[in-house]
Amino acid sequence: MPDPVQGGILIVDDTPNNLRFLSTTLTEHGYKVRSVTSGQMALTVAQAAQPELILLDIKMPHMDGYEVCQRLKSSSRTQEIPVIFLSALDEVIDKVKAFNVGGVDYITKPFQLEEVLARIENQLDLRRAKAEVQTLNAELEHRVRQRTIQLEHEIAERQRAQDKLLHLALHDSLTGLPNRTWFMKRVGQVLDRARQHGSYLFAVLLLDCDRFKVVNDSLGHLAGDQLLVAVARRIETCLTPGTTLARLGGDEFTILIDDVANLEDAISVAERIQQDLRMPFQLGQYETFTNVSIGIVLGGKQYEQPEHLLRDADAAMYQAKGEGKAGYRVFDSSLHKRAMARLELETDLQRALDRQEFVVHYQPIVSLHDGSLSGFEALVRWHHPRLGMIPPSQFVPVAEETGLVVPIDLWVMRQACHQLRLWQENWERSHPITMAVNLSVQHFIHANLMAEIDDILTETGLSGRSLRIEITESAIMKNAEFATVILEQLKARQIQFSIDDFGTGYSSLSYLHQFPVDGLKIDRSFVSNIQARDQNLKIVQTIIALADTLNMSAIAEGIETHQQLALLQSLGCEYGQGFYFSKPLAADEAADLFQAPQPWPLSS
């Protein structure tokens, strides 16, 4: 059986004349035509090969056109085929029924050729247009599907790029650890939690590598980087779940321990890390060691800002570092208060010189042979506008650390030299008296000390012989080589020199006899505890003998009682200074001493 012809027009009519006429005419007009004479045949043919259009006679025996049309419409294979009904003029065509069963048009007999062609062409056009719309729709759908896939791909790509950026923004590129930003966010989160659940505790540890700078400077930055990575990896192995390590920058790391029961939990983490870091690190061919100093803070709802935790951990870490390497220290709030007070003092100290808040007091130095005034020691005092009088023991160490001690010392020296010069002009004396000034020597290492001293002497007109410099024994021993240079220069100017607080600084005898020293000031701690037949007495006795041997004078500090004075005199101590004679005095009070002929009548 040949393949049924697809497409074309199917004519269904039981009247052979009609069939022939339509078939011939349509064929002549170029249509492909098939014809059948019954409804049953029409259904069979249409199922086998769908025509593009069916011309269907209504009135037929056995099965009329309406029923044929209904059946065509109920099958999925044929339901789309347009059906034009054919009816005789004298028949009453039930148009409503014709459309209800699925017909699209009708033609009445006898056929008007133009009308038939026009209606057929109309339906075929419509059908073609529908088909075209369908193809376009299908194409569009396909394109939409393609584009959707493409967009999904692009979105995923963009998401990946965004994730990468986010990762970069929150991580340290060297170690791959979370960075400071990430860490602070995380601390913010646990703080929120602490505020919601009052009993919730967490811990922040701040770790700073000891000796890292040494490795970096000696082996180079590349090795330094390697060491940081190795340290990070080793610390990670000490951490339990719920604990996160981040790199703050440089050689500083930080750890957040989520949900700790107590301080001991945090301490045991710190101890474990320090224990593990004791093993050496292999950097290429070098084996090197580093450990960390750790500051620990227990965090809870009392903290308001994440930064405050880091600040306190930092303060504790610095304390740990100050107490020696590879230690840890737990923060307590007194540490913060102390740090704040210290900071305030530093700031105020900066302004004190400009605001002329310093004054110099003068403590007499007395000859223990005859009670005569041999000189003064200039001692600085700070009149703080809010805190009142601050003793040098509290602010000199701060001034030394900040470097402010240099201008302060020079100011005191200028003041004291000027004062002595005034006294010399007012009171001619048989015995020349000296002015002793304290210097914090280590800060003059890079400064132009001698030129400054020369300026002061020239400015005030005081002779070098009248000036005496005091430097503490410990400061000299720390800078022994440099001190030798300074002392030579002082000697060249006839400026005298005493070692202050002698006996406390472990002087090496070999140095001592090299130095051109004029006096040893026996530290107050020996003098105040001096008693007959006791250890201190022997020490003082030894110092006096040493001074005598080296051709220096001994000056006893802190004489407070008559008994101390008597003992010192019996040991042959040359000079003395202390509350027994006088406290440090303001300049006008000190001036009174010049008028008294014998302020301290001693029985020697």
Q: Nearest approach, Cβ of 213 to Mg ion (angstroms)?
A: 36
Taking CB under 5 A as the rule, does residue 518 contact Mg ion? no
Q: Nearest approach, Cβ of 378 to ligand C2E (angstroms)?
A: 6
Compare residues 326 and 368 and give the one whose CB is closer to Mg ion: 368
Q: Are 140 and 120 in contact (CB under 8 A)?
A: no
Q: Nearest approach, Cβ of 376 to ligand C2E (angstroms)?
A: 12
Q: For 201-213, give one letter per residue: b (16+ CB within 10 A) or e.
A: bbbbbbbbbbebe
Compare residues 33 and 483 and give the one whose CB is closer to Mg ion: 483
Q: Which of 404, 356, 406 is nearest to 381 (CA)?
A: 356
Greatest CA separation for the chain:
171
Q: Omega of the bond prior to 391 within 30 degrees of 0, cis?
A: no
**Residue 172: contacted member of ligand C2E, Mg ion, none (CB under 5 to 8 Å, by partner type):** none
**Positions 263 through 302 that interact with Mg ion (CB under 5 A):** none
Q: Nearest approach, Cβ of 470 to ligand C2E (angstroms)?
A: 6
Q: Cβ contacts of residue 96 below 8 Å, gap of 6+?
A: none
Interface with Mg ion: number of residues (CB under 5 A): 5
**Residue 210: contacted member of ligand C2E, Mg ion, none (CB under 5 to 8 Å, by partner type):** none
How far is 208 from 213, CA to CA, in rounded Å? 11
How far is 411 from 474, CA to CA, in rounded Å? 23
Q: Are 194 and 201 in contact (CB under 8 A)?
A: yes
**Positions 142 through 201 that interact with Mg ion (CB under 5 A):** none
Q: Are 371 and 574 in contact (CB under 8 A)?
A: no
Stretch that binds Mg ion, among 217-225, 399-407, 435-443, 584-592 (CB under 5 A): 435-443
Compare residues 319 and 498 and give the one whose CB is closer to ligand C2E: 498
Structure tokens at 55: 């011309």
**Residue 440: contacted member of ligand C2E, Mg ion, none (CB under 5 to 8 Å, by partner type):** ligand C2E
How far is 19 from 86, CA to CA, in rounded Å? 11
Compare residues 187 and 439 and give the one whose CB is closer to ligand C2E: 439
Containing 538, the helix (H) or strand (E) segment is: helix 535-549
Q: Cβ contacts of residue 561 below 8 Å, gap of 6+?
A: 580
Q: Nearest approach, Cβ of 521 to ligand C2E (angstroms)?
A: 7
Considering only 172, 210, 501, 574, the residue that binds Mg ion (CB under 5 A) is 501
Compare residues 294 and 587 and give the one whose CB is closer to Mg ion: 587
Considering only 500, 519, 568, 577, the residue that binds Mg ion (CB under 5 A) is 500
Q: Nearest approach, Cβ of 471 to Mg ion (angstroms)?
A: 9
Compare residues 299 and 584 and give the one whose CB is closer to ligand C2E: 584
**Residue 564: contacted member of ligand C2E, Mg ion, none (CB under 5 to 8 Å, by partner type):** none
Taking CB under 5 A as the rule, does residue 312 contact Mg ion? no
**Residue 396: contacted member of ligand C2E, Mg ion, none (CB under 5 to 8 Å, by partner type):** ligand C2E
Query: Residue 262, SS3?
Result: coil
Radius of gyration of the CA atoms of the chain, in A: 55
Beta strands, E only, 451-552: 467-472, 496-502, 519-522
**Angle (deg, nearest 10), helices 39-48 and 65-74:** 30
Stretch that binds Mg ion, among 54-62, 263-271, 310-318, 492-500 (CB under 5 A): 492-500
What's the gap between Cα 523 and its chain centre? 47
Taking CB under 5 A as the rule, does residue 470 contact Mg ion? yes
Which segments of 461-532 does DSSP mark as H helices, in order? Answer: 473-478, 480-492, 509-514, 524-528
**Residue 175: contacted member of ligand C2E, Mg ion, none (CB under 5 to 8 Å, by partner type):** none
Q: Are 4 and 48 in contact (CB under 8 A)?
A: yes
**Residue 184: contacted member of ligand C2E, Mg ion, none (CB under 5 to 8 Å, by partner type):** none
How far is 126 from 145, CA to CA, in rounded Å? 28
Stretch that binds Mg ion, among 268-276, 332-340, 362-370, 556-564 (CB under 5 A): 556-564
Q: Nearest approach, Cβ of 592 to ligand C2E (angstroms)?
A: 19
Q: Nearest approach, Cβ of 522 to Mg ion (angstroms)?
A: 9
**Residue 346: contacted member of ligand C2E, Mg ion, none (CB under 5 to 8 Å, by partner type):** none
Compare residues 293 and 438 and give the one whose CB is closer to Mg ion: 438
Q: Nearest approach, Cβ of 444 to Mg ion (angstroms)?
A: 16
Binding footprint of ligand C2E on the chain (CB under 6 A): 363, 379-380, 391-393, 396, 405, 409, 412, 438-440, 470, 500-501, 524, 557-560, 577-579, 584
Taking CB under 5 A as the rule, does residue 473 contact Mg ion? no
Q: Are 13 and 42 in contact (CB under 8 A)?
A: no
**Residue 295: contacted member of Mg ion, ligand C2E, none (CB under 5 to 8 Å, by partner type):** none
**Residue 391: contacted member of Mg ion, ligand C2E, none (CB under 5 to 8 Å, by partner type):** ligand C2E
Compare residues 232 and 476 and give the one whose CB is closer to Mg ion: 476
How far is 264 from 147, CA to CA, in rounded Å? 60
Q: Which of 509, 486, 508, 512 is nearest to 499 (CA)?
A: 512
For Cα atoms 40, 45, 47, give the angle at the middle one, nearest 5 degrees. Answer: 95
Q: Nearest approach, Cβ of 371 to ligand C2E (angstroms)?
A: 16
Number of helical (H) and strand (E) elements in the chain, helices listed first? 21, 21
Considering only 438, 440, 460, 582, the residue that binds Mg ion (CB under 5 A) is 438
One DSSP character per residue, 178-211 reads B-HHHHHHHHHHHHHHHHHSTT--EEEEEEEETT
What's the gap between Cα 298 and its chain centre? 19
Sites of contact with Mg ion (CB under 5 A): 438, 470, 500-501, 557
